[in-house]
Structure 1
Amino acid sequence: MSETATFGGGCFWCTEAAFKQLAGVHEVTSGYAGGHVEDPSYEAVCREETGHAEVVRVEYDPEAIGYDELLRVFFTVHDPTTLNRQGPDVGSQYRSIVLYESETQRETVESFIAGLEAENVYEDDIVTEVEPLETFYEAEPYHQDYYEKNPGDAYCQFNADPKIEKVREKFAEHVAADAPADD
């Protein structure tokens, strides 16, 4: 049995690479969600014409890794306190967003964020949007598995590698034995 979770935390190449490290994650697909245009293109999303965020859809085995653990990873590998920005990427398409697919997911993420705020985990307020997933649009084929297909890409080395390292260090018990390395 598989479930899915959808997260936007900046460039989907980097977010995808981080989630692919985890045991129990079967597939991570880069795409677009949270906008108002049907079947958006990457170019239109980048021009902020569609309202979509770059997101990843994570297909996972809930008996191997729980939704709450995916949230822990998500809130570790990106900065949920920066509005419409992650690292060098600026624009509403890079916003922090969790798109829930059930009332249980909504309740879990809202409780999770409330816990982070109560514990003052971040110096600034969390700006992560929590919205229902209406439609997930798969990104163009060249965006899928981008990190693995482009190991020498300087952008990925500078932005994805630190996310992968965080996952490997902070969630070592969940890293898949066959996880793609950040060489």
Structure 2
Amino acid sequence: MERHIRRFLNKLSFASLPLPLSSSSSSSSKPYKPSSNDWKKKLSSFINFFQSIRDLGLLHNHTKVICISAGVGHEVMALSHMGVHDVTGVELIDSPPLVSRVDPHSLPFFDHVFYLAFTAHLAEALFPSRFVYEMERAVRPNVVCVIVVEECGDYEVKEIVGLFMKSRFVNSINVTLTRLKMTQILMKRTS
């Protein structure tokens, strides 16, 4: 069954066209052009968000970070602008040069490679438990997975926390990210 779904996703990703990071005069791609005002606002929002993670002592310039379901790469570029040297952005569809095509339900990395994992798109995962399993597998013990979801209450936070089998709940707080009210959940990988 999972092989069938993976084939479907591969066909879907080949049939879709990634949004370009820059283009000529096409107005449909302007929100994703790094020099556009919208891009700059989103980039600034992600920088402010990640600065709060840095202030907690969870992010440093030498931290090896994976951004899962990274879209066109706002978070990847924000981390790079902050001086983080090793940032990997993955998504079902390529958005070069910031994001590579990878199925977030089957990450092609060895276990315990990353020192921090981030996603703002767990809610869109086809298989949330598999998505979280891969996120946990990819990070080292005693480091964090940072999940950002649409603003939610304690019940929804508990549901998300319940997906994590190898991590413990650290905290959840409400944040604003790209002008949206969101809830940030920190999970620390235990083993």
Q: TM-score, normalised by structure 2?
A: 0.27
Of structures 1 and 2, the one scoring higher in RCO (CA 8 A, sep 6+) is: 1
Higher-Rg structure is 2
Q: TM-score, normalised by structure 1?
A: 0.28
Structure having the larger proportion of residues in strand: 2
